[in-house]
Amino acid sequence: LCFPTFPRFCGQTFTEHPDREMGLACVKAYNDWMVEEWCGDSNGALIPLIIVPLWDAELAAEEVRRNAERGVHAVCFSEIPSHLGLPSIHSGFWDPFFAACEDTETTINMHIGSSSRMPATSADAPVAVAASLSFNNSMASLSDWLFSGNLVKFPKLTLAYSEGQIGWLPYVLERVDDVWREHRAWGGVKDLIPEPPSAYYYRNVFGCFFRDRHGLVAIDEVGEDNITFETDYPHTDSTWPETKQVAEKMVEGLTDEQIYKAMRGNAIRMLHLDLDKDVVTTPGLKRTAALDLLGE
């Protein structure tokens, strides 16, 4: 799954262009390149990830449906669209886009930095401060989504927090449930969220990680069905070229079933890939499929 760099993590570059006709043409050209050229002859090794015209939710929905017709099941979106000057996920503006994603089984992927703003304490803080806090927007975004009512309105919608890591999830899930139980009467969600927010996380959300031992230690709270492994190649945070060794160290103590889900199976399910039909039903193949296919 290859995220955009030149258009930025959810296509902000084209959204910011003042000429909407040109912006839409660029979005479609990028997606055509992604599907037909980048992924076209890879025999499934490369998975298409599209962008949409963020300035118009109806056009975004049309682009999701256009690409779903050629087998695409992943789209980029902003973790916090209001940071881009766009309507929030509470506004109702995005409903056509969300409906299209739900109808076509297209997962909404929110990469860190997709709101064009990284967490920081001050303008003169070392860059290392922002780098160490890179998961903060994912954490804020998840709370936003869990209290938005969108996962009630669109119960089959799927979200993924790309590079958001997972070690922070147990406390956030505990906290949102506490707030729901104790404060929902005055917190604006009494009639909006009928179940504890964590229920929607376990049903609709995937956390993505590349180096997060704490998250795997807490796999029972994070959810073995809710995590997917990634590499961040070719960025400087990447585990490459020691990806397999890093992965093997992180999953020590997990069952073969948990390793398979985290390293491969959940991603196959999340992206609706036609892979590993034999592995799912054949004992002993899960660990091999999960780790050996990462290479040496």
Region 8-20: what's the mean pLDDT?
Answer: 90
Tell me the residue type at 44: G
∠ CA 239-139-224 to the nearest 5 degrees?
A: 60
Taking residues 137-162, report their average pLDDT.
97
Give pLDDT, residue 45.
87
Residues with Cβ within 8 Å of residue 163, at least 6 apart in sequence: 111, 112, 134, 208, 209, 210, 230, 232, 237
163 to 98, 168, 225: CA distances (angstroms) = 22, 13, 17
Structure pTM?
0.93
Q: What is the mean pLDDT of the chain?
A: 91
Which CATH number is 63's domain given? 3.20.20.140
CB neighbour burial string for 34-63, b if at least 16 within 10 angstroms, e if fewer = bbeeebeeeeeeebbbbbbbbbbbebbbbb
**Dihedral angle of Cα 244, 246, 250, 256, to the nearest 10 degrees:** 10
Domain count, the chain: 1
pLDDT confidence of residue 120: 79
The residue segments making up the domain with residue 142 are 12-117+128-294
pLDDT band at 296 (very low <50, low <70, confident <90, very high): low
Using one digit for the tens of pLDDT, what is the confidence trace for 238-256?
A: 888 888 999 999 999 999 9
The secondary element (H helix, E strand) that includes residue 138 is helix 136-146
Residue 225 or 41, more confident: 225
Residue 260 lies in a domain: yes
CA angle 167, 241, 260 (to 5 degrees): 50
Q: Is residue 1 part of a domain?
A: no
| Percentage with pLDDT > 70 across the chain | 93
- pLDDT at residue 290 tops 80: no
pLDDT for residue 283: 57
Each as own residue / partner, the long-range contacts of residues 116-121 (CB below 8 Å, 24 or more positions apart, any chain) are 116/8, 116/12, 116/83, 116/84, 117/80, 117/83
Residues 168-196: what's their mean pLDDT?
94
**Per-residue pLDDT tens over the stretch 59-101:** 999 999 999 999 999 999 999 999 999 999 999 999 999 999 9
Give me the pLDDT at residue 275, please.
Answer: 83
Split at pLDDT 50, 70, 90, the class of 234 is confident
Mean pLDDT value of segment 270-283: 75
2: in domain: no
Length of the chain: 296
User: Is residue 123 in a domain?
Assistant: no
- pLDDT 10s digits, 29-58: 999 999 999 999 888 889 999 999 999 999
List the structure tokens of 14: 């084209």
Q: What pLDDT is attached to residue 278?
A: 65
- Give the containing element (helix H, strand E) for 38: none
User: pLDDT confidence of 27, banded at 50, 70, 90?
Assistant: very high
pLDDT > 90? residue 28: yes
Q: Tell me if 245 is assigned to some domain.
A: yes
Question: Which pLDDT score is estimated for 282?
Answer: 61
**Domain annotation covers residue 5:** no
